[in-house]
Structure 1
Amino acid sequence: MFRVIGRWFHRYFSDDEAIVLILLLGVALFTILVLGAMLAPVFAALVLAFVLQGLVNWLEKKGLPHILSVVVSFLLFVAVFLAVLLLMVPLVWEQGSNLLNELPGMVQQWQDALQHLPETYPGFISESQVNAWIETANTQMTRAGQWLLSFSLSKLPNLVGILIYLVLVPILVFFFLKDRTVLLDWFTSYLPKERRMINQVSDEMSSQIANYIRGKVIEIVIVGITTYIAFWYLGLNYAALLSLLVGLSVLIPYIGAAVVTIPIAAIGLFQWGFTQPFFVMMAVYGVIQALDGNVLVPLLFSEAVNLHPIAIIVAVLFFGGVWGFWGVFFAIPLATLIKAVFTAWPGQDELAST
């Protein structure tokens, strides 16, 4: 048995590059798990820099100097950020407050509808079942209200930190864009000169992570704006709030679209009931989801590594549980990284040939 284990260990861990790669991945994992909250502005700035790097490269190809390309891209980012902060956030906040104020009335209307079910379906639903459902719903609503209140109070001391992030993140984005080459050269200077496997994994992942982040941001914007226009045209209440949820739902493949459908259907039923406008709204929402999954995603992520849906869902659940929001956002790139490491690992060629 020890001979078998020894041969296995020699096949996969005899390469010095493999040991270096393990150390790099270990340091990255330690940084994420232990220092993730502390370095959240840095991670956010890196994501935004990835998004803007494509624009910087495009401007440089058009003949602009590097520093001018960075300045133009950064000013565009600041303009979009201020527009979202000054226009979208107040609208979503207002609609969210209105929804919370009207939520008790919506719950009461649903309770009244449930109490009529035993009369409509006497052989299937009893009055005791309806009372149990109502009691469970009231309990869950009370818990949700208590959690929301405690969450809002716990976040009040962090307002100063949020204001610091609003200043710190743009500064970091600017310097990440301006000194990208310098920072990469400094980092690679600490790596071994012979790093074929590390370069293979790095080359495969750098472009894919950049394309993924840029594609996700574009997908969120397109899906969110399209949904808002559709909901606003149809007259659905809380169109901005719901469209924001739909846009963010694309971060979680498969699961996000299913979860966000529940509040959309609930608000549509409360506003229109089982009438034609409700079914038209749900049909339009279904068309948007279908176009997103079958047209937009293939266009934006045509260069992404093909991952099985089970692998994507497992990655979302695992990395989301380990790293929260950022884990969900980077679930697919991290799963792709694991696949790239296994592909480039020493001994895989021998294994494939046997």
Structure 2
Amino acid sequence: MLDIFKKWSRTYLFEEESVLLLVLLAVAVALLVTIGDILAPLLAALVLAYLMQGLSSQLQSHGVPSWLGLTLSYTVFIGAFFGFTLGLLPLVWRQLLALASELPRYLDQGRQLLSVLPERYPEIFTAQQMNELVGRAQAEAANLGQVLVTRSLASLPGLFTLMVYLILIPMLVFFFLRDRQQIIDWLVRFLPEKRPLLTTIWGEMNQQFANYARGKVLEIIIVGSVSYLAFAWMGLNYAALLGLLVGLSVIIPYIGAALVTLPVVAVGFFQWGFATEFYTLCVVYLVIQGLDGNVLVPFLFSEAVNLHPVAIILAILFFGGIWGLWGVFFAIPLATLIKAIINSWPTPDMEPVAGPEATVSTE
């Protein structure tokens, strides 16, 4: 066994930089697993600053001075950040409470619809089974409503944490934007002077991370906004809540759209039944999903992610399990990073990677 390990280490860890990269990856995963919740504001601010740096770089490429580009991008961030946290989130929370209080009535309507199944298919369904199913669902809905109300009444600690985040995240984003190069130079000091492997991986991943993150944020905003406007125009109940769910569903490829279809269709059905408005809602929702997949995604993501669907699903399960929503959001670029590391990892039969000194950029 020891000989096998020695042979493996001589094959894949024969360079100092390989060992360093392996240590960095292990430390990053360990930090996310152990203190990921504590680092959440820092990581969130880092991602947001990365997005705003892209906007600033675009403005500077059109002749806008550096200080003005940073000021405008930070102003856009502040407007969007407080508009979302102080405007949209309270509205969504109120609609979520209203939906929880309406769930027992919806379930009673569902029981009336299910009551015809034992008559049509007595060999499969019985009236007792249907009553037990709806009874359990009503009990769970009542518990959910009670939990939501209790949390809304006893949310002072959570409210205090939210206030800290409202101050901390904008402050961190400001310093990340203003002192970006100083922070990068300080981090680079801890790396070897010659780092061709890290340079190769960073050069391959930097642009992909930037394109994916900015494109995904724009996709969430566009799909969520269009869905909300369409639902509100049709008079659908809980339009803001459902619009937010549809927007966030694009984070999870293949699965998100299927999961969010159920609440949209269910709310429309219990509100209108099999009326014209219900069928119109289904058509509008399918059109939004079709335009997102066939028009918006190809436009926003110019470079296709060359990953198998199974690899994408596994990445979503793994990174979502260790990092929550942020892990789901960055599952695809992180999987692409792992693929780039595997493809670039040096072996004795490979020629040395040639390249200039590593210059880290987030543009």
CA drift of 1:86 comes to 4.3
1:302 aligned counterpart, secondary structure: coil
**More divergent stretch after superposition (262-271 vs 233-242):** 233-242
Q: Where do 1:52-91 residues align within 5 Å?
A: 52-91=52-91
Q: Answer whether contact 2:51 2:210 (CA < 8 A) is retained.
A: yes
Residue in structure 1 matched with residue 193 of structure 2 by the alignment: 193
Aligned equivalents of 2:148, 2:94: Cα separation in 1 = 17
Aligned equivalents of 1:348, 1:210: Cα separation in 2 = 32
**More divergent stretch after superposition (174-183 vs 122-131):** 122-131
Identity among equivalent pairs (%): 51
Residue in structure 2 matched with residue 38 of structure 1 by the alignment: 38
Q: Where do 1:302-341 residues align within 5 Å?
A: 302-341=302-341
CA drift of 1:3 comes to 5.7
Aligned equivalents of 1:123, 1:167: Cα separation in 2 = 61
Q: Answer whether contact 1:212 1:304 (CA < 8 A) is retained.
A: no
2:258 aligned counterpart, secondary structure: helix
Code of the residue aligned with 1:14 in structure 2: it is: F
Alignment CA distance shift 1:177-1:155 (3 Å): same
CA drift of 1:165 comes to 0.8
Q: Answer whether contact 1:114 1:130 (CA < 8 A) is retained.
A: yes
Residue in structure 2 matched with residue 170 of structure 1 by the alignment: 170
Aligned equivalents of 1:111, 1:338: Cα separation in 2 = 49
Q: Answer whether contact 1:227 1:288 (CA < 8 A) is retained.
A: yes
**More divergent stretch after superposition (198-207 vs 136-145):** 136-145
Residue in structure 2 matched with residue 248 of structure 1 by the alignment: 248
- Gaps (5+ residues) in structure 1? none
CA drift of 1:146 comes to 5.3
Q: Answer whether contact 1:70 1:174 (CA < 8 A) is retained.
A: no
> Higher helix proportion, which one?
1
TM-score, L = length of structure 1: 0.91
Alignment CA distance shift 1:99-1:145 (3 Å): closer
Aligned equivalents of 1:71, 1:103: Cα separation in 2 = 46
Aligned equivalents of 1:7, 1:101: Cα separation in 2 = 63
Q: Answer whether contact 1:208 1:304 (CA < 8 A) is retained.
A: no
Code of the residue aligned with 1:293 in structure 2: it is: G
1:27 aligned counterpart, secondary structure: helix
CA drift of 1:70 comes to 0.8
- In the alignment of these two chains, the number of paired residues is 351
Q: Answer whether contact 2:92 2:240 (CA < 8 A) is retained.
A: yes
- Gaps (5+ residues) in structure 2? 351-363
**More divergent stretch after superposition (14-23 vs 79-88):** 79-88
CA drift of 1:63 comes to 2.5
Residue in structure 2 matched with residue 97 of structure 1 by the alignment: 97
Q: Answer whether contact 1:231 1:239 (CA < 8 A) is retained.
A: yes
Q: Where do 1:133-212 residues align within 5 Å?
A: 133-145=133-145, 147-148=147-148, 152=152, 155-212=155-212
Aligned equivalents of 2:200, 2:24: Cα separation in 1 = 14
Residue in structure 1 matched with residue 276 of structure 2 by the alignment: 276
Alignment CA distance shift 1:80-1:5 (3 Å): closer
Alignment CA distance shift 1:2-1:96 (3 Å): closer
CA drift of 1:83 comes to 3.0
Q: Answer whether contact 2:223 2:288 (CA < 8 A) is retained.
A: yes
Aligned equivalents of 2:81, 2:348: Cα separation in 1 = 46
TM-score, L = length of structure 2: 0.89
Aligned equivalents of 1:152, 1:254: Cα separation in 2 = 33
Aligned equivalents of 2:272, 2:33: Cα separation in 1 = 46
2:23 pairs with 1:23: yes
Alignment CA distance shift 1:153-1:32 (3 Å): farther
